[in-house]
A and B are shown apart, each in its own frame.
Chain A
């Protein structure tokens, strides 16, 4: 029993679940208290100890099913010694023929009922997809090629087994042959399916905002893309007004907050000056916590208009936040915080476009942007940071690197994704919104001023 649990734990760890030893101890202790033969109970004990958030549960369920149901299929076969010997012989015959790639060995182990190596292999496929292609060009093909290799290895093993069966027609009874074929076919199918389908987390914690209050009638409903030059000017004025209003509201809140309750500790200390008579009265004044903001803006044509207005608002409201750091990207990342802090917003917008060392001709690549962020800026995220990503999620068919987004989520307070594209176009073509939204805390459609205002309001107030 203990071995079984430990085996399951190491498999889970191999596929990326974090399980500490104290959790294993707890689990084993708890299993002693229940009737382990009743499967729902057994499963819920494992689940409540090993998968401690909703997002991990999908992964856990997948592993549980694989480990306790699919990998146990050999139990259904009449398990004579003879047959298992034959099986070993069959696998040996293939080992002898083919090369000694570690992943190849992993697949063979998987066939023999030890999924550890194969799970590790799958996890690597999902996580370090930093395209190490010979050409040095990072692209989505690196992991794809790796997958194809494994796929062909699986097929190779399948062929090898079939050949073994054919060669030994005489020496093995047909019942045994049939049992073996069924058994191996099932395992191979499992291996292929795991290769094709990545488990994805449940995303029912996701907040999806699609309806909005109407703040402004005409211009507020107009999409950012269809604004004329004159309207853009008009828009700037409106934004300025609104920002001033918003600031007032925030200020009012602060000053009201200042009154607070009597701080007795400090009043007493102050009264010491006047022989214990509380002349100076001190109130508890705890400034409301301000958040840090990190923005990642896609500046490739389609999205930039929306991003521009958002940055404009964010920087006008700078004193409402502890810190605002902004980055722009196309296929690589560039920090523009300084530019925005030093200059007036309109100049800054121009400057950041002209002076940033970004290749505007390149096609948007979210994957490489995330990789660069992870390499250079991961440390700026902490539990007080709100990460805002403005982008359409169109990856130009490159590797989306959603696992890095997942890592970023673990580090920061929340991730909000603003998508300026019309809702109907989400998830069409190369848009990977569906992939990304699973890792965000909130997804917003942000196409016009009304929607943007709504967002800024919830962010500031």
Chain B
């Protein structure tokens, strides 16, 4: 099953609890229609990983996730031979192997006979598929998420190219494995380093920014159904005011949600500057940031329409 149109994408993602802008929906739709991977960039916490999850959920597909880090190599990403199993099998079949070589006249002959059998040990049976191989050999179409690809080494990035453009991998002992069903691929990046041109060329690029006021309001209302309209509005306005400050780390969408959740837990009905100050550690994760927000509380109060308690 794939999405039929851009509105269809939007509708289904919303059903999967993910509200997105039109440009996000466009890219997701095009990625399915043209079978291209999507490279998602954006600040931390705007829902890059969440997008892949939502797409998987809305299409009823499995999500296979590969978390990248420095030092990740193909043995952990693609496949590995199960040496222990191979060893076990050779031990158990010692007699059979003896039988095979029993009639041989000399050493060369014996080696030839063994060589005839070696395919048995380097076959599908002894391969341990890792996320990438799993994704392309799955009989059901899946969603493949390659998370934080910028954290991986440049070598690994080059190794991804074959998979991303042709949806196939080459295993020296067996041959080339083509994808059974072409997966939808998402790569996320945090701008830790620039990706190579070769990788970028193969992907559709999507930049997710902090959502605008209306969109974020929708998100909060969807994720936290019990929230009052007035509180939600104040909350979003405050967050947007705080994002305008020159902070070390701007509060992201997921932190907005956490904050809203904690305000509900505190049974707050409307925001006052005091409540914002008290709960600031939900959204500001550095002390200097929190201080900056406190210093600017007056302008925030005015612009976000908070209620001053007298």
Contact A52 to B200, CB < 8 A, known contacts A33-B34, A208-B248: yes
Give residues of chain B (198-222) contacting chain A, Cβ–Cβ below 8 Å: 200-201, 203-207
State A150–B281 Cα separation when bound (angstroms). Answer: 54
Q: Are the C-beta atoms of B195 and A53 separated by less than 8 Å?
A: yes
* Residue from B84, B193, B197, B286 in contact with A413 in the complex, judged by beta carbons closer than 8 Å: B193
Q: Does B41 contact A (CB under 8 A)?
A: yes
* Residue from A26, A47, A264, A265 in contact with B36 in the complex, judged by beta carbons closer than 8 Å: A26
Q: Does B258 contact A (CB under 8 A)?
A: no
Q: Are the C-beta atoms of A211 and B33 separated by less than 8 Å?
A: no
Q: Are the C-beta atoms of B83 and A288 separated by less than 8 Å?
A: no
Q: Does A168 contact B (CB under 8 A)?
A: no
State A410–B195 Cα separation when bound (angstroms). Answer: 9
Q: Mark A34-55, 1 if CB is under 8 A from B, else 0.
A: 1000001101110111011111
Shortest distance between the CB of A407 and any CB in chain B (Å): 12
Q: Are the C-beta atoms of A41 and B22 separated by less than 8 Å?
A: yes
* Residue from B70, B197, B206 in contact with A289 in the complex, judged by beta carbons closer than 8 Å: B70
Shortest distance between the CB of B103 and any CB in chain A (Å): 23
Q: Does A23 contact B (CB under 8 A)?
A: yes
Q: Which residue of B lies closest to A265 (CB)?
A: B83
Stretch at the interface among B23-31, B263-271, B301-309: B23-31
Q: Which residue of A lies closest to B30 (CB)?
A: A30
* Residue from A18, A383, A409 in contact with B197 in the complex, judged by beta carbons closer than 8 Å: A18
Shortest distance between the CB of A242 and any CB in chain B (Å): 25
State A447–B87 Cα separation when bound (angstroms). Answer: 60
State A414–B191 Cα separation when bound (angstroms). Answer: 11
Q: Which residue of A lies closest to B84 (CB)?
A: A264
Shortest distance between the CB of B290 and any CB in chain A (Å): 12
Q: Does A22 contact B (CB under 8 A)?
A: yes
Listed residue (A40, A48, A51, A441) with the most chain B CB atoms within 10 angstroms of its CB? A48
Interface size on B, residues (CB 8 A): 36
* Residue from A33, A52, A264, A383 in contact with B30 in the complex, judged by beta carbons closer than 8 Å: A33
Q: Are the C-beta atoms of A48 and B191 separated by less than 8 Å?
A: no
Shortest distance between the CB of B95 and any CB in chain A (Å): 16
Q: Are the C-beta atoms of B197 and A41 separated by less than 8 Å?
A: no
Q: Does A97 contact B (CB under 8 A)?
A: no
Q: Are the C-beta atoms of A409 and B22 separated by less than 8 Å?
A: no
Q: Which residue of B lies closest to A384 (CB)?
A: B154
Q: Which residue of B lies closest to A206 (CB)?
A: B191
Q: Are the C-beta atoms of A52 and B39 separated by less than 8 Å?
A: yes
State A30–B35 Cα separation when bound (angstroms). Answer: 11
Q: Are the C-beta atoms of A40 and B22 separated by less than 8 Å?
A: yes
Q: Does A193 contact B (CB under 8 A)?
A: no
Shortest distance between the CB of A47 and any CB in chain B (Å): 8
